[in-house]
Amino acid sequence: MVKAKAHAPGVLVVVGLAGLLVVAGPALFGTYLLNVLIQAFFFAMVAVTVDILWGYTGYLTFGQSAFFGIGAYAAGLVFTHGGSSPGHVALALSAAVAAAAAVAALLGWLSFYRGASPFFATVMSLVLPIVLSQLILSGGAWTGSSSGLTGYQSFDLSLDAWYRIAGMGLLLISTLAWFFVQSDAGRVLVAIRDNESRCAYLGIHTLRVKIVLLVAAAIVAGIAGFGYGSFSGVVAPELSGFVLGTQLIIWVALGGRGTLWGPVVGALLINVATAYLSASLPFAWQLILGTAFVAVIVLLPQGLVPLLLRPFKPLRALVASDMPPVLVERAPRAPPQAASVPALHMQGVAKHFGSLKVLQGIDLHADAGELLGLIGPNGAGKTTLMRCISDGGERCAGTVVLCGNDVGQLPPERCVHFGLGRKFQNAPIFDSLTVAQCLRIATTIIERPSLIRRARTLGLPPYALDVVRTTGLDQKLDTVAKDLSHGAQQALELVMVLALEPRIVLLDEPTAGLTRTERTQIGSVLVALAHRYRLCCVLVEHDLDFVKEVATRIVVLHQGGIVMQGSFDEVVDSELVKTIYAGTAQADAP
Ligand SMILES: Nc1ncnc2c1ncn2[C@@H]1O[C@H](COP(=O)(O)OP(=O)(O)OP(=O)(O)O)[C@@H](O)[C@H]1O
């Protein structure tokens, strides 16, 4: 069983100091500043959610203000039209949470469907606050229309108590968010931001992850809005509008996207500065703010907080330990299918792009322990065939059965659960992650990642561990993946595929760009995978010498059809294959 690693205790010191400031605040600040800070605390909670969605997951959203507005209006409406008894408070809070969650689930479902671009999701997030503001404006006396709702009673609390509640709430949310983004689950978000389609081929249901995250972020924003509406005794359509949604993004960008500290500092600083300066500089203040935003984006794309914290970089280790995990061997799970079930069975598979027929009538069968070399001239359809095997949505006709499971129209993440692993030609490894973190992401479907911790050990099946050791990756676990040599990146990509414990492995030109030594290493790894560990490997390769060394059977693809199968000698001695490679064969060759 993998044990979890606690974060360095330094973070507790930071949290303790912030907690002291929250407790001592009422003795230090005047009434006006306390009022401003309480409101800023509620806004900062939402800014933290924007940072998790945008900074860590790559989803630029203008819609978090809508959830804040939903929470604020839940308080305003219930307290105005019902009352402020404990039952009404519970009703308002439940309404804030339930409505924010429901709207977020709907928005996520509409925004993150398969094939939707990030730009589309951002546009959808822009639409939500606009629609919600219009609904509030058309609510008449019930919602207070453009004037909003004012003067309702909520909790009977002193200013000091509000300050401490809001401050502690912000501290709690920021601390939980910090543990989350540092955890193994938090690394999954970064992987989605870096390369979402690669995550799908590691079996991660990215759409589900994003929807769940959006719902959680909406609930936090809804609770913050409820707090704001209860404290201020005023709610207005602007609280759910897209201007606030844009301001949230500005606060996050100014403070430092993807840092968590940055959005909190950005939100507090700008809200306090606005409260003091907007009165004395009513016309210039927005201009100053806009200019500062542009200047930071251009000159300090990382934001202000990373710049301010740079001198303290050596102390970072006290707050977050980046020690790589210890690699351990993990016994592979028993395959759910009997050994007699073929690893791959394809029948009548076809693919066309408009009128261009790229694959036609492909019938292919491969068993466990086979190493199939798929060869053919450029444009023969080899990569397209790989895509049809690994993604049910790719082919236009025919069936693909993986380890006894018909893939139907299922997306890649579901095919992975049938035992499929696909290694891409250009190793699209996650840029911001280290080797160890990439490997951890690759084990997501085997070991559910913790939401608050990083595991201290990393379990890999024996064949994956063999590759790690023979290629020296175990010495580079804390190296950022994009800084590896091409050969090491290819090896990492292969280990990530093997960490899934696949029964069938697709490899697209695994030797491209490798040195002779690396090529030999990969060759022996593939032979061991097929013969010793009984995996079925399908290899697309232009290097015929390499294919000869490793493949047990050769399949020749030409103009979208399989024209020949057999041993290497049978294939290379064939007149048909010679003509194909000489470029004179016809599409209707046998
Ligand atoms: N998205 C696409 N839209 C239109 N045509 C495409 C698309 N993808 C591939 N093709 C065409 O399909 C044919 C087969 O392409 P594919 O990449 O599968 O060949 P290949 O055998 O892998 O070639 P190579 O060895 O050069 O990688 C080519 O003619 C290619 O131009």
Residue that the structure tokens 């969650």 belong to: 101
Is 340 within the bounds of a domain? no
Is 405 within the bounds of a domain? no
CATH number (domain holding residue 265): 1.10.3470
**186 in the same domain as 105:** yes
Identify the helix (H) or strand (E) that includes residue 1.
none
**455 in the same domain as 315:** no
Among 304, 319, 334, where does a domain finish?
319
Listed as ranges, residues in the chain with pLDDT below 50 are 1-6, 587-590
**203 in the same domain as 64:** yes
Residue 299 structural domain = 4-319
Number of residues written out for the chain: 590
Helix, strand, coil % over all residues of the chain, rounded to 5: 60, 15, 30
**66 in the same domain as 137:** yes
Q: Is the CB of 354 under 6 A from ligand 1?
A: no
Q: Would strands 149-150 and 234-235 be described as parallel, antiparallel, or unpaired?
A: antiparallel
**300 in the same domain as 436:** no
Q: Is the CB of 108 under 6 A from ligand 1?
A: no
* Minimum CA distance residue for ligand 1 atom 9: 384
Identify the helix (H) or strand (E) that includes residue 56.
none
pLDDT in tens, 492-504: 999 999 999 999 9
Q: Is the CB of 358 under 6 A from ligand 1?
A: yes
Q: What is the per-residue pLDDT for 486?
A: 85
Helices (H) and strands (E) in the chain, counts: 24, 16
CATH number (domain holding residue 496): 3.40.50.300
Q: Which residues contact 441 (CB under 8 A, 6 or more apart)?
A: 187, 188, 191, 199, 202, 204, 430, 433, 496
Is 169 within the bounds of a domain? yes
Tokens representing residue 114 in the block: 């398969």
Q: Is the CB of 65 under 6 A from ligand 1?
A: no
Strand partners, 565: 555
Q: Is the CB of 382 under 6 A from ligand 1?
A: yes
**307 in the same domain as 443:** no
**Residue among 564, 434, 552 at smallest CA distance from 496:** 434
Atom of ligand 1 nearest to the CA of 387: 18
Q: At what angle do helices 64-81 and 118-137 cross, to 10 degrees?
A: 20
**375 in the same domain as 313:** no
Atom of ligand 1 nearest to the CA of 384: 18
Is 493 within the bounds of a domain? yes
Q: Is the CB of 355 under 6 A from ligand 1?
A: no
DSSP code per residue over 225-246? HHHHHHHHSEE-GGGGSHHHHH
Decide if 455 contacts 213 (C-beta within 8 A).
Answer: no
Please give the single-letter amino acid code of residue 46. Answer: V
Q: How far is the CA of 580 from the centre of ligand 1 (A)?
A: 17
Q: What is the per-residue pLDDT for 537?
A: 94
Is 353 within the bounds of a domain? no
CA distance 88 to 81: 10
**Residue among 470, 479, 397, 500 at smallest CA distance from 435:** 479
Half-sphere exposure of 588 (CA within 13 A, CB side): 0
Report how many domains make up the chain.
2
Q: What is the per-residue pLDDT for 589?
A: 42
* Minimum CA distance residue for ligand 1 atom 4: 353
Is 409 within the bounds of a domain? no
Tokens representing residue 371 in the block: 């190493």
The angle subtended at Cα 398 by Cα 395 and Cα 404, nearest 5°, is 100
Q: Is the CB of 384 under 6 A from ligand 1?
A: yes
Q: How far is the CA of 92 from the centre of ligand 1 (A)?
A: 57
Q: Is the CB of 348 under 6 A from ligand 1?
A: no
Q: Is the dihedral of CA 76, 78, 79, 85 positive or negative?
A: negative
Atom of ligand 1 nearest to the CA of 380: 21
* Minimum CA distance residue for ligand 1 atom 31: 379
CA 163 to chain centre: 35
Q: How far is the CA of 386 from the centre of ligand 1 (A)?
A: 11
Decide if 214 contacts 207 (C-beta within 8 A).
Answer: no
Q: What is the per-residue pLDDT for 36?
A: 95
Helix ranges (H only) for 29-63 are 31-50
**Residue among 508, 494, 381 at smallest CA distance from 429:** 494
CA distance 19 to 25: 10
